[in-house]
Amino acid sequence: MKQKNETLLEIHDLSISFRMYDHGLEQTNLQVISNLHLTVYPGEIVAVAGSSGSGKSLLASAILGILPDNATVRGHLHYKGQELTSGRQEQLRGTEIALVPQSVAFLDPLMKVGAQVDGHRKPRPADKRKRLFKRFGLPDKTEQLYPFQLSGGMERRVLVSAALITDAELVIADEPTPGMSLEQASEALRMFREMANEGKAVILITHDIDLAVGFADRVAVFYAGTTVETAPASDFKIGADALRHPYSKALWKALPQNGFQAIEGFQPYAGNLPEGCLFAPRCSRKTAQCMSNVPPVREIRGGEVRCYHGT
């Protein structure tokens, strides 16, 4: 269960920009995340949802400290009450904070997958690895195979196993289930749920909101590099009226079982962000205030929303 009296991870006003070259040797800064806010408590799964390009995977890289050298990070990142400096990130990465990467290219093509899951741990956690592989339906011989000998779904299950074997306090799972069957994906999320029930935490980055809300405690909705709403997962089960931000409502209505209703416009490109609320150009409720000022984060009905007109 969540323990609201303490936080595991706190992110406030996070901004990320990349130094790039434009028009020959002229340098420019491309801001891709701005004023992002997220809090994660022990014992919970926070699903992070939003369209492609909204900053979900960049958030994972920022927490782990694995952004490229041309990135500039501003804002406040704290883990267990202490600032996440680059040195602390290096110390925690792969031990207390583990990543399930989005790309199966993270697997070493020249190393057998059993050794990759075990890592450099001594003694090797062979028994735990075998239990994880068995729960995922991976054959006994899998540990002796190389990545090229696995299907895409098998590679995904190996990546999830590599994160779960670490006993990390925080797992960041970046789109961990593509290529898995529904049964396999559900098993992966059940294991994340068990981990959270033991007092640890999971950030689940996903496009599959339907599957995620069956296991998550809260859902953070990203748009154009910022958090527009954080809501109890149960609100997504109730429907659009239970949500607070116009984009969250539109996201719910765009799900296939809810009519696949699209809204006009598109998510703005990072190099051409509007003034004020980033969603304002597509919002039917926008006012002059929305077009010129960035809304603050407000608490409404047990959730948080960045909107002047959120209800």
Element (H, E) at 202: strand 201-205
Residue with tokens 């600032």: 83
What is the enclosing helix (H) or strand (E) of 248?
A: helix 246-253
Q: What angle do CA 104, 117, 87 make, to 5 degrees?
A: 85
Amino acid 60: pLDDT: 95
Helix boundaries (H) for 93-125: 113-118
Place of tokens 């809304």: 295
Give the pTM: 0.92
CA distance linking residue 294 with residue 283, whole number of Å:
14
Give the residue from 270, 279, 281, 272 showing the smallest Cα distance to 306.
Answer: 279
Identify whether the C-beta of residue 54 lies closer than 8 Å to the C-beta of residue 222.
Answer: yes
pLDDT digits (tens, 9 = 90+) for 268-310: 988 888 999 999 999 988 999 999 999 999 999 999 999 999 8
Whether the per-residue pLDDT at 123 is higher than 50: the answer is yes
Q: What is the mean pLDDT of residues 42-54?
A: 93
Q: Inform me whether the pLDDT recorded for 226 exceeds 90.
A: yes
User: What pLDDT score was predicted for residue 5?
Assistant: 62
pLDDT at 3: 47
| Helix, strand, coil % in the chain, rounded to nearest 5 | 35, 25, 40
- Rg value, the chain, Cα: 20
Q: Would the pLDDT of 131 be above 50?
A: yes
**pLDDT above 90 for 125:** no
| Residue 115 pLDDT greater than 80, yes or no | yes
What tens digit of pLDDT does each residue of 140-171 get?
899 999 999 999 999 999 999 999 998 899 99
Instruction: Tell me if residue 292 falls in helix, strand or coil.
Output: helix
